[in-house]
Amino acid sequence: MITKPKIIYLDIETTLAQFWGFRLGEQRISWEQIKKEPQVCVICWAVNDGEIQSATFDMNKYDPTKYDDDADYKLISDFVKIASTADLLIAHNSPFDLGVLGSRLMKHQLPDLAPTLVDDTYFKTKVRKTMSHKLDYLLRYFNIGKKVEHRGLETWKDVGLKNKKALQELKEYCIGDVDGLRKLYKYITPYIKSNLNLAVFYGKPDICPRCSGEDTIQKRGFHRTLVGKYQRYQCTTCGWWGHDGTNQISKKRSGIPSSQFVR
């Protein structure tokens, strides 16, 4: 039985930060004005094409009157074990999701996320000129869905007031984001350079790095640079383009990754 890569799609939601202040309007808020630190309150994820899973923080431990607490301790402790089994993580604006998780793991002195490949749909689409790169816009632009509607800031405010119904609303919203994220990633896959090379994953240098197709790679002219000429290839199944690392001019092997093909 062939083991497929374990791809995990993820999204998180956090509580609102709370600040002390003297007035309304534009102003610079410093760290001394923080009244309540934001926490991870919802995490949703899906493994490959499996059902979307969800988990929430312990609202009984959440104390709006304290600067910080451990209401999200078990939530992120459990999830980091799941995320660390992934061959590839998919997120939209991963510096936020993984950054917040990382800071809370550090806060609680929990084991860190394992080094894992990440494909970020936000940054992968930024090389293409669309009017926006927000998830909701891209779902509409590609006509593949839309985000779940919610009550706006009131939902997050109610979660901060320990409203369990609001937390459920936020969970449904987060589940919708993971569903949209998965649809978006599958849609853009033929047009992006994934950080997961299937030729390396399976240890078969002659298969397609994107779709793992065998006997589907054909020569398609040459890729030329200022100092070299390299055989170019295309996969007849998924349309992947790539080239090898042999300089046809010098006939010397250039620096390439552990797969035969360079993307």
In this prediction, residues 109-122 reach a mean pLDDT of 96
According to DSSP, the residues that pair with 235 across neighbouring strands are: 217
Q: Residue 2: what pLDDT?
A: 61
Angle at the Cα of 43 (from 34 to 88), degrees rounded to 5? 115
Residue 142 φ then ψ, to 5°: -90, 0
257 or 241, which is more confident: 241
Q: What is the pTM of this model?
A: 0.89
pLDDT digits (tens, 9 = 90+) for 10-22: 999 999 999 999 9
Extract long-range pairs of 68-71: CB within 8 Å, 24+ residues apart. 68/36, 68/37, 68/39, 68/107, 69/39, 70/108, 71/39, 71/41
Residue 86, pLDDT > 50, answer yes
Q: Residues in the chain, how many?
A: 263
The fold adopted by the segment(s) 7-20+30-191 is Nucleotidyltransferase; domain 5 (3.30.420)
Binned at pLDDT 50, 70 and 90, residue 130 comes out as very high
pLDDT averaged over every residue in the chain: 92
Q: Residue 256: what pLDDT?
A: 46
> Do 120 and 94 form a contact (C-beta atoms < 8 A)?
yes
Q: Residue 64: what pLDDT?
A: 94
In this prediction, residues 87-110 reach a mean pLDDT of 97
Residue 255, pLDDT > 90, answer no
Domain limits, the chain: 7-20+30-191, 216-262
Binned at pLDDT 50, 70 and 90, residue 163 comes out as very high
Residue 187, pLDDT > 50, answer yes
Q: Residue 117: what pLDDT?
A: 97
1 or 258, which is more confident: 1
> Do 159 and 166 form a contact (C-beta atoms < 8 A)?
yes
**Nearest Cα to 159, choosing from 67, 232, 28, 57?**
57
